[in-house]
Structure 1
Amino acid sequence: AASVEREAVHFQFGDFTTMSLLLHRELFLLFLSLIQVATSQCPPECSCSGTILDCSNNGLNAGTLPTHIATTTTEIKLNNNKLSSIPNGFFDSLQNLRSVTLDYNPWTCDCNILYLRSWLLKQEDRSQYKDIRCSSPVELQGRLIVYLTEDEVGSNCKDWYCNMALICQIGLFAFIVIQAILLIFVIIFLKRFEKFSKEAIGAPKEDNFRNAM
């Protein structure tokens, strides 16, 4: 009986060892797959090291920035490019982001800078953004973007708002004209249909009257 118990214990220990080895193997394969996924998510115009995305010195502008960035990214380097603005919502999905290097870019402080200004204002540590300054327009050249007032930025948006308002008004006027034309066609069609219906109903009655004569 004792030998049977020893064999049972040995068998159970062997099973446990096998399961442990299989578990370690699966964890290792999972780790390799995660590394592969992280590597494949690195944008071709940038280089990746762990959770750091380096897109510096690539001549990037707002239209050529990478659109697919791993959500695990903690740091992005965008310095020494040709960025005049940052696309709306660019940083919003990166919940783990802790630092962004934005130095040495020709920032244009017009309506398109509002998103970057808003994002900078939300940062607890603004010391790393103390050199993010406007390159244009002339009246705002050298100003820190984070300290721009809404009036200063808004003054460069007036023409844009006026153009948008004009386009909206023209579009609304065109819509009203098209609706009026369609309404006129519908009214004409209904009147003609009504006339045709009356003529169609009256024709048999006239034939019956003539036959009775």
Structure 2
Amino acid sequence: MKMNSGILFLSLLGFLPVVIPTCPPPCKCATSIIDCMSKGLTVTKLPVAFRPSAEIINLSYNRLTSIPSGLFDNLKSLQTVHLQGNPWECNCDILYLRSWLQWQQNRTFYRDVRCASPAHLQGRVIAYLAEDEIISTCQYWYCTLALFSQLVLIIFLLLQAILVIFIIIYLQRFRRTAAEARSTTRDLYQHADTWSLQEQ
């Protein structure tokens, strides 16, 4: 009893870490198993960390498109992660998962972890993808972004040009109206002078 009290005291002082077993919602957990199967998990809803003692993690049949970088790195006891049944997007974000899979000794276990998109990689086993194939999708994404930016810039310049044209047309009409007003004013003054002379 005294020994347990001493360990607790040292833990509270920060000399020993306090290990609190937790189960990330909405998963179900056993001693060394974390079951998150069919929980509708997306990348944003995925737990930010798992307990270090986890040996098996089941992430199958969710809506995961990638795995956050470093998620499995500190799980020293981890043996297997069930990943099948997810719509994996094989773009730049899949590089971490591909690298992690390639380091696994039981790589054949992950043959069902396949790309759902893009179309030219659909059905390919992620663990066997070449890095160049993924990087090419990244470059395509950057090219698409650059093209979109150029289109936005062109549209913005066109709108500016249209605005300038409208301003020029408005100024021309304003000048005509002002000239007509001045001409009308002169005519009125001339008629007024003529009438005053006739009355005299």
Shorter chain as denominator, the TM-score bin is 0.5 to 0.7
Q: What are the equivalent positions in structure 2 for 1:140-155 lying under 5 Å apart? A: 140-155=121-136
Structure 1 position 67, deviation (Å): 1.2
Q: 2:67 aligns with which of 86, 103, 109?
A: 86
Partner residue of 1:54? 35
Paired residues in the alignment total 135
Shift of residue 150 of structure 1? 1.3
Question: For residues 44 and 122 of structure 1, what CA distance do their matches in structure 2 show?
Answer: 28
Q: Does 1:76 align with 2:57?
A: yes
Give the drift of 1:26: 5.2
Q: 1:37 aligns with which of 20, 25, 40?
A: 20
Cα RMSD (Å) = 2.4
Greater helix share, structure number: 1
Query: What corresponds to 2:177 in structure 1?
Result: none
Name the residue aligned to 2:107: 126
Q: Read off the aligned partner of 1:133 and give its amino acid letter.
A: R
Is the contact between residue 49 and residue 71 of structure 2 (CA under 8 Å) also seen in structure 1?
no
Cα distance in structure 2, aligned partners of 1:50 and 1:68:
16
Instruction: For 1:151 and 1:143, locate their aligned partners in 2 and report how far apart those are by CA, in whole Å.
Output: 14
Amino acid paired to 1:79: S
Partner AA of 1:37 in structure 2: I
Q: CA deviation at 1:44?
A: 1.8
Q: 2:82 is matched with which residue: 76, 85, 101? A: 101
Letter in 2 for 1:72: S
The CA distance in 2 between the partners of 1:119 and 1:81, in whole Å, is 19
Give the letter aligned to residue 87 of structure 2.
P
